[in-house]
Amino acid sequence: MSAPLLITFDQVWKSYGEGEARVHALAGVDLAIRRGEFVAIMGPSGSGKSTAMNIIGCLDTPTAGTYSFMGVDAGRLDRNRRALLRNLYVGFVFQGYNLLPRTTAAENVELPLIYRGVAARERRDLAMQALAEVGLVGREHHTPAELSGGQQQRVAIARAIVTRPTLLVADEPTGNLDTARTHEIMELLARLNTGLGLSIVMVTHEADVADYAGRTIRFLDGHVASDTLKAEAAA
Amino acid sequence: MIWETVRLSLRSIRRNILRSFLTLLGIVIGVAAVIAMLTIGSGTTEKVKADISKLGSNLLVVRAGRPAGPGGPGGPDQTVRPLAEKDIAALVAHLSGARAISPAAQKQVRVIFGTESLTTGVTGTDSAYLDARDWKLVSGRPFSDSETRAGTGVCLIGETVRQQFFGAGDPEGEIIRVNRTSCKIIGLLEPKGYTGFGQDQDNVVLMPLHAYQRRIAGNRDIDNIYIAADERTPTSELQPRVEDILRDTRRVTPDRDPDFAIRDMTQIADAMTSATTTMTGMLGAVAGVSLLVGGIGIMNIMLVSVTERTREIGIRLAIGAHEKHILIQFLVEATVLSLLGGIIGIVIGLSLAGLASMALTIPFAPSPAVVLLAVGFSALIGMVFGFFPALRGARLDPIDALRHE
**Vertex B331, ends B18 and B324: CA angle to 5°?**
140
Angular region, B140: left φ>0, alpha ψ -120 to 50, beta rest: left
pTM, full prediction: 0.71
Asked if residue B180 is part of any domain, the answer here is yes
Q: Give the model confidence (pLDDT) of A11-70 as tens digits.
A: 999 999 888 889 999 999 999 999 999 999 999 988 999 999 999 999 999 999 999 999
Indicate the number of domains in chain B: 2
Q: Is residue A232's pLDDT more than 60?
A: no
Is B319 within 8 Å of A94 when comparing Cβ atoms?
A: no
Residues 175-234 of A with CB under 8 A from B: none
A58-62, B66-70, B224-228, B367-371: which range is least confident on average?
A: B66-70
Query: Could you tell me if B248 and B285 lie in one domain?
Result: no
Angular region, B224: left φ>0, alpha ψ -120 to 50, beta rest: beta
- List residues bridging with B125 in a β-sheet: B104, B208
Give the integer Cα–Cα distance in Å for A43 and A223. 10
Q: Which of B15, B311, B323 sits opposite A80 (nearest CB)?
A: B323
Share of chain A above pLDDT 70, in %: 97
Question: Domain of A160: which CATH number?
Answer: 3.40.50.300
Q: Is residue B67's pLDDT more than 70?
A: no
pLDDT at residue A41 in the model = 96
**Distances from the Cα of A161 to the Cα of A41, A170, B102, B340, angstroms:** 20, 12, 94, 38
Query: Could you tell me if B154 and B237 lie in one domain?
Result: yes
Query: Could you tell me if B250 and B131 lie in one domain?
Result: yes
Q: Per this entry, what is the length of chain B?
A: 405
Question: Which residues constitute the domain of residue A128?
Answer: 5-234
Taking contacts as CB-CB distances below 8 angstroms, the residues of chain B near A100 are 312, 315
pLDDT at residue B71 in the model = 43
Residue predicted with more confidence, B235 or B349: B349
Indicate the number of domains in chain A: 1
Asked if residue B74 is part of any domain, the answer here is no
Rounded-to-10 torsion of CA B275, B278, B279, B282: -160
Query: Could you tell me if B254 and B286 lie in one domain?
Result: no
Is A79 within 8 Å of B323 when comparing Cβ atoms?
A: yes
* Contact pairs from chain A to chain B, CB under 8 Å: 57
Taking contacts as CB-CB distances below 8 angstroms, the residues of chain A near B309 are none
Taking contacts as CB-CB distances below 8 angstroms, the residues of chain A near B15 are 102
pLDDT at residue A126 in the model = 95
Residues of B with CB under 8 A from a CB of A: 1, 4, 15, 311-312, 314-325, 398-399, 402
ipTM, two decimals: 0.90
Is B323 within 8 Å of A98 when comparing Cβ atoms?
A: no
Question: Strands B260-264 and A90-93: what pairing?
Answer: unpaired
Asked if B48 and B272 touch (Cβ cutoff 8 Å), the reply is yes
Q: What is the mean pLDDT of residues B149-155?
A: 89
Residue predicted with more confidence, B80 or A182: A182
Asked if residue B66 is part of any domain, the answer here is no
Q: Per this entry, what is the length of chain A?
A: 235
Q: Give the model confidence (pLDDT) of A75-97 as tens digits.
A: 999 999 999 999 999 999 998 89
Give the integer Cα–Cα distance in Å for B157 and A43. 106
pLDDT at residue B70 in the model = 46
Is B398 within 8 Å of A59 when comparing Cβ atoms?
A: yes
Taking contacts as CB-CB distances below 8 angstroms, the residues of chain A near B320 are 83-84, 86-88, 90, 112, 115-116, 163
Asked if residue B67 is part of any domain, the answer here is no
Asked if residue B58 is part of any domain, the answer here is no
Q: Give the model confidence (pLDDT) of B165-222 as tens digits.
A: 988 888 888 899 998 888 999 999 998 877 656 778 889 999 999 999 988 888 888 9
Query: Could you tell me if B203 and B250 lie in one domain?
Result: yes
Query: Could you tell me if B222 and B301 lie in one domain?
Result: no
Give the integer Cα–Cα distance in Å for B156 and B140. 9
**Vertex B265, ends B259 and B270: CA angle to 5°?**
125
Taking contacts as CB-CB distances below 8 angstroms, the residues of chain A near B398 are 59
CA distance A182 to chain B (A): 22
Asked if B84 and B74 touch (Cβ cutoff 8 Å), the reply is no
A83 touches chain B (CB under 8 A): yes
Q: Give the mutation candidate from A53, A58, A80, A92 for the B interface (greatest B CB count, under 10 A).
A: A92
Instruction: Output b/e per residue, B94-106; b: 16+ Cβ within 10 A.
Output: ebebbbbbbbbbe
Give the integer Cα–Cα distance in Å for B184 and B212. 13
Query: Could you tell me if B91 and B238 lie in one domain?
Result: yes
Query: Could you tell me if B34 and B183 lie in one domain?
Result: no
Cα nearest neighbour of B14 on chain A: A102
Concatenated DSSP letters for A101-168? TTS-HHHHHHHHHHHHT--HHHHHHHHHHHHHHTT-TT-TT--GGGS-HHHHHHHHHHHHHTT--SEE
Question: Which residues constitute the domain of residue B331?
Answer: 2-51+281-403
Asked if residue B270 is part of any domain, the answer here is no
Query: Could you tell me if B234 and B90 lie in one domain?
Result: yes
A100 touches chain B (CB under 8 A): yes
Give the amino acid at B348.
I
